[in-house]
Amino acid sequence: MTAMSTVSAAPAHFVERSVDLHGKTYRYQVFVPADVEGKHPAVVLFLHGSGERGDDNQAQLSQGLPPWLKQHTDFPAVVVIPQAPDDTEWTDKADADMALAALEKSVKEFHGDRKRLYLTGLSMGGFGSWQIAADHPGLFAAAAIICGGVEALPDDGRNLYVHGVPKGEDAYAWTAKTIGTLPVWIFHGGDDHVVPTEQSRRMNAALLERKAEVKYTEFPGVNHGSWEKAYATPDLWNWMFAHKS
């Protein structure tokens, strides 16, 4: 009698990777779902907030989607988690290019399904998500944008706003037009004292004006840290993954 051997599925895990771009090496993390071998998984690009910038390739795991993934290891998609360097913004072209290079490298390594690429970000990463969506219409199948915006914050002095808006044009209408047919679910805290809730309200209104596919969730009384509630929204991932580009 021959004993049958069973191969157990590889458990979900995070791996460290790096990408070389414009003469620099950037490190990033990737969440690899269980038993991904031989499959063509969906791939999610996650952009962190300003507090997680650096070069340790660890801080970007501390807020938002990565902690949620650690509690939901049955998540079926690859998640690419780059880290913006100190004193930079995801709306900077260099950072956006780096994030997309990490995404591309991950799609190739894990044989990702190019019709199922998804975009999500919080705070600074929400601004960056609007920027990347505007600069690369058609690349992503759907996006979830949390407590982000498109206009510069009052007295902020940072490069944190959607670039490319023609002079004299409304930033919200232009962004809504430029992202094309991308379905977006917008989340924001109703009492956000960091990024005004009004920015997400106006983006929602601009997308509705274009009859785009948009969902808007506002958490009453919640300040800036709305990402925990957003990523815990039961229907979020079913809604995201129902879309293909």
The 10s digit of each residue's pLDDT in 116-169 is: 999 999 999 999 999 999 999 999 999 999 999 999 998 888 899 999 999 999
Name the pLDDT band for 7 (thresholds 50, 70, 90).
Answer: very low
Q: Let me know if residue 88 belongs to a domain.
A: yes
Q: Let me know if residue 92 belongs to a domain.
A: yes
> What is the Cα–Cα distance from 102 to 77, expressed in whole angstroms?
15
Q: Let me know if residue 136 belongs to a domain.
A: yes
pLDDT in the model for residue 147: 98
Q: Let me know if residue 5 belongs to a domain.
A: no
Name the pLDDT band for 35 (thresholds 50, 70, 90).
Answer: confident
> What is the Cα–Cα distance from 110 to 213, expressed in whole angstroms?
29
pLDDT in the model for residue 155: 81
The 10s digit of each residue's pLDDT in 95-114 is: 999 999 999 999 999 999 99
- Cβ distance 63 to 83 under 8 Å? no
- The rounded percent of the chain whose pLDDT value lies above 90 is 92
- The CA distances from residue 19 to 26, 47, 78, 103, 121, in Å, are 5, 16, 17, 10, 20
- Cβ distance 186 to 165 under 8 Å? no
The 10s digit of each residue's pLDDT in 57-93 is: 999 999 999 999 999 999 999 999 999 999 999 999 9
The domain of 29 spans 13-152+161-241
Task: Single out the residue of 195, 226, 14 nearest to residue 89, CA to CA.
Answer: 195
Name the pLDDT band for 9 (thresholds 50, 70, 90).
Answer: low
Q: Let me know if residue 4 belongs to a domain.
A: no
- In this predicted structure, the answer to whether residue 5 has a pLDDT above a threshold of 70 is no
- The tally of domains found in the chain comes to 1
Measure CA 127 to chain center: 10
> What is the Cα–Cα distance from 194 to 154, expressed in whole angstroms?
10
Instruction: Check which CATH number belongs to the domain holding 220 and give it.
Output: 3.40.50.1820
Q: Let me know if residue 8 belongs to a domain.
A: no
Q: What is the pTM of this model?
A: 0.95
Q: Let me know if residue 6 belongs to a domain.
A: no
